Chains A and B, each alone.
Chain A
């Protein structure tokens, strides 16, 4: 059933054209309306008890005998050359076991053109030295005893000034962060002629802020280097990528590096590469012969562990009087920070290229270096930023044309992926989201209350598309135990999304076992087969089919064994709820346990791999959200009164988990819309709010009723489980839906995120007193 061969991936996520070994599986898909016993059911999280009792062990909770604690000294300057580091006093402090810095650390290449401890620091927070000590207090004291002499250099932290003539250059070739110093351009049709055909043109400049992930568990790890073997308990979204990168940096063979991640306190994109802490902790563990814990503190987490790149987007839309889009053009500038981290890219132009049917599209993307912490993927990287601009511009167009915003969107509905020039696997996905969201919200029936005092109410909506297809390769194994229970093993990770639960459901469904007879094991490179990074909303559609294939392989062997002693053709045997029966015959012939007991101690082992995606179609996810807000025009207070979200993620494997993802994503979207912003002092290059006091993430008081209007559309052309991703999408349309609702309420357009009270009051004032 499993055949190995070389295949060319044509529709993977950013891997087009690469050669990969793919295990091709041919299972009949679970069709729409198929009667499934476990998949589709609201099963509580399988690891729930561990999490509510505090027994779930995160990387931060790993405590090994004789473990040392590591702290990092960070640059106070936005740009400087390190002349000298003197760690003599620190090393002399009782309890200090080691110090690393540019003067004594091995030269390990990092961020393509820098080193683990470089002699040039490029932002406030850049790593300068690391101390390892018996306890945290001694490590902290020792940091203060390290003397560093800096030559301070000119810097630029504002990306809108970084391309000015005379701006300090971060790289010899300049501050444009592309190989050739030119922007990335995508073009189809001819925008000029498209604008020529337009009756109405919208031109607007939008800005989005740098947002900080602020995962509850910081980045960090425990490293144990023992007898030539390195074990890392790392808070990561990708155990296999960390293993590969760390092995490379330390010139170790991969089988000598083991990366473990059982539970993780949030990632949101920021934990998908091997960050410096992994190699620093490993080197210090080798040097001291003791395990080393290196967890970032909250300030470092806000300075040096990634951010959502701030953008400036100049958008032009052209449309005919009937609403037909004739041109979409955008110039995007985005700050990538000082270094290129890798991982999932920030695809800011993506949504402009695909969301609407339009023959003439031009996107121009300028990634720009600044002396700020490196940007890294943050839940729907690029799309959250771009939706803020595009979805407000489309709202402006609807108002200009006096059309309903949903009607305008339907007028420009894209049935095909215009970038790949292929039809979508489910071209009705977005339409169904528009219907479900607007109906649940009562969009068409909405009646504004009579205005009184300074309070104004209004409604707004926004849409999105996104990837979330899943892709090969990924693998899983299934072992059937003598007592009829199953162990499912895979090298993926559950970053808090519900992967453990949903994959257990897939395995139980295919095996015909009740859920409590299936245990899913993940998060250990030494125990499970390869699975890719948990990013791109791809884990469910990537691993689901692999787990299903492994379970099907085990089931086939189980039924062959049963067929032998039942003297029945195994192809006529079925298994459901633990029982093995002959198709069409009443009663069951045997049970799973009876079969496994008979063959014990021989063990049935199933192997499965993720098959390739279709080459003739494009797999995308879609969604739409409607929001109602109340604006106090005197105080600038914005209250989101309610929000309805509808997202096409293919088959819903577990409605409870999907509801939580949707509500959680919208909650982050409300934070992005109204409060979250990294504040930089551009004169000093310092982040002013690198903590959870002044960087405002939403609290329980900030969340309105959020409803998930489910559309459950099994996408059987995408893969044989019919499920697609839902991790990132719910965040994408929230902020523009709120901004559009605010315009509806009080007639001001806030183009700059976040939409703060000050910005709103200023805009209201401009409206009342036009120049």
Chain B
């Protein structure tokens, strides 16, 4: 903690969803707080702020990370993908469509994190096993208890992707 009012902010460049943002970040500021408070990308949710719940999941270099456990300065010039970048001008992507179709949420607060965790899996492997789908969201809590439908949605997204590939 500093008590002298001096802040050691550092200029960083964030590449979020293909756009470039200049930001000033204190060394201790998390990627989560930077996305929400500086870039106003509030789709990524803050729930536990200590890596317990997965609501803040985003992709850095294509891998799912807890943005509350990632410092903003670590992400300087690295590609970051958030829930806001998933749809194509309102056209939902396969995971998003599957979530709506399968009613894989109630309050919706954990949903961006769940969707990003599955997105990370499907970016690596378009035909994962049921076990891999479940494993992908084991770190994402859902207090409304939509888990069974989240798993259904994961499987449905695989089907939707396969159908897209055929086209």
Contact = CB atoms under 8 A, between A and B. Distances in A.
A377 B43 CA distance: 29
Interface centre among B99, B109, B143, B150 (most CB of A within 10 A): B143
B110 interface: yes
Contact of A53 (B5, B26, B43, B140): B43
Contacts of A264: 107
Interface of A: 44-45, 47-58, 60-61, 63, 89, 92-95, 135-138, 140-141, 144-145, 213-218, 263-266, 268, 295, 297-298, 495-498, 656-657, 659-661, 663-668, 691-693, 697-701, 703, 705-706
Contacts of A47: 108
Contact of B145 (A49, A297, A667): A667
B29 interface: yes
16 contacts: A45-B105, A49-B100, A56-B108, A58-B45, A63-B42, A95-B5, A216-B55, A263-B107, A496-B106, A660-B106, A660-B146, A661-B106, A663-B146, A693-B52, A697-B141, A705-B148
B111 interface: yes
B50 interface: yes
Contacts of B96: 49, 52-53
B19 interface: no
B59 interface: no
Given A93-B5, A701-B134, A496 B42 contact: no
Contact of A265 (B86, B109, B145): B109
A1 B45 CA distance: 47
A141 B145 CA distance: 36
B131 to A, nearest CB: 11
A495 B111 contact: no
Nearest to B40: A63
A698 B110 CA distance: 14
Interface residues on B, range: 35 or more
Nearest to A48: B100
Contacts of B44: 54
B12 to A, nearest CB: 16
A661 B106 CA distance: 8
B117 to A, nearest CB: 10
A52 B116 CA distance: 10
A498 B106 CA distance: 7
B87 interface: yes
B28 interface: yes
Contact of B100 (A44, A136, A140, A297): A44
Nearest to A662: B145
Given A54-B42, A55-B43, A265 B48 contact: no
B84 A216 contact: no
B99 A52 contact: yes
A295 B146 CA distance: 25
B148 A496 contact: no
A48 B99 contact: yes
A630 B142 CA distance: 25
B22 to A, nearest CB: 17
A49 B45 contact: no
Contacts of B33: 136
A93 B106 CA distance: 42
A657 B86 CA distance: 26
A138 B33 CA distance: 13
A137 B26 contact: yes
Given A63-B42, A94-B6, A699-B147, 15 more contacts: A44-B100, A51-B105, A53-B96, A95-B5, A136-B33, A216-B110, A217-B45, A298-B50, A298-B52, A660-B144, A663-B148, A668-B143, A700-B137, A701-B134, A703-B148
A498 B83 CA distance: 22
B108 A496 contact: yes
Given A265-B45, A663-B145, A667-B147, A217 B107 contact: yes
A384 B23 CA distance: 49
B37 interface: yes
Contacts of B50: 298, 691-693
Given A54-B112, A667-B147, A700-B134, A45 B45 contact: no
A663 B47 CA distance: 23
B92 A663 contact: no
